Amino acid sequence: MKQLLDLDTWARKEHFNFFRQFEEPFFGVTTDIDCTTAFNKAKASGDSFFLSYLHKSLAAANEITPFRYRIAGDEVWVYDQVHASPTINRPDGTFGFAYMNFYEDAAAFEASSKAEIERVRQSTGLIPAVSGENVIHYSSLPWINFTAVSHARSFSFKDSCPKITFGKVKEVGARKMMPVSVHVHHALMDGFHVAQFLDGFQQRMEE
């Protein structure tokens, strides 16, 4: 479900009208997330660390309203819930786009997502069977301890979905740290909202 945002009463109306005219309206930040607790719990229980942090990031994003905003023409729609469209690596070195529904229950999310991962790994196509505007575009680069990320963009395609990238886990003393890059549409949100997401994600990674 989605609802139309009343632009006339929105405090960011001028910001929206200003940034949506940009050829490149996305901005991005990269930071390290302490994933020690989440990593150790996943390994101890035999659960997927990837699906664990993916679920925690989705839960954090769904709590921040601007992460559920999407632009359609001159309007902004607010989705009740957003889901994940991550890249899934295949044994032959290629990847495919997946679509994973968000469930608040982590076990339900993992079970559903494992089936989707297997579907993509057994396929040869690129585009998922189901997708849409109510997704966050995810990618994982577990081989690279990056400090910044840029994304391929088609400027003729009016995309407003957030893009989140996870990197290689590294050890810093007794802690495990993982780089996370977040790119968002500046007409829909600011650095303050990205900080709220990162704080929520970090909190969940420590639970």
Which amino acid is residue 164, in one-letter code? I
The two structure tokens encoding residue 130: 């189901």
To the query of whether residue 193 is one of the catalytic residues in this protein, the response is no
Classify 131 as helix, strand or coil.
coil
- Rounded to an integer, what distance in angstroms lies between the CA atom of residue 182 and that of residue 196? 12
Helices (H) and strands (E) in the chain, counts: 5, 10
- Rounded to an integer, what distance in angstroms lies between the CA atom of residue 34 and that of residue 176? 6
Cα 172–chain centre separation: 25
Candidate list 55, 83, 183, 186, residue with the active-site label: 186
- Rounded to an integer, what distance in angstroms lies between the CA atom of residue 110 and that of residue 47? 9
- Rounded to an integer, what distance in angstroms lies between the CA atom of residue 176 and that of residue 169? 6
Surface-to-core class of residue 47, CB atoms within 10 Å of its CB (0-12 exposed, 13-18 middle, 19+ buried): middle
- What positions carry a catalytic annotation? 186
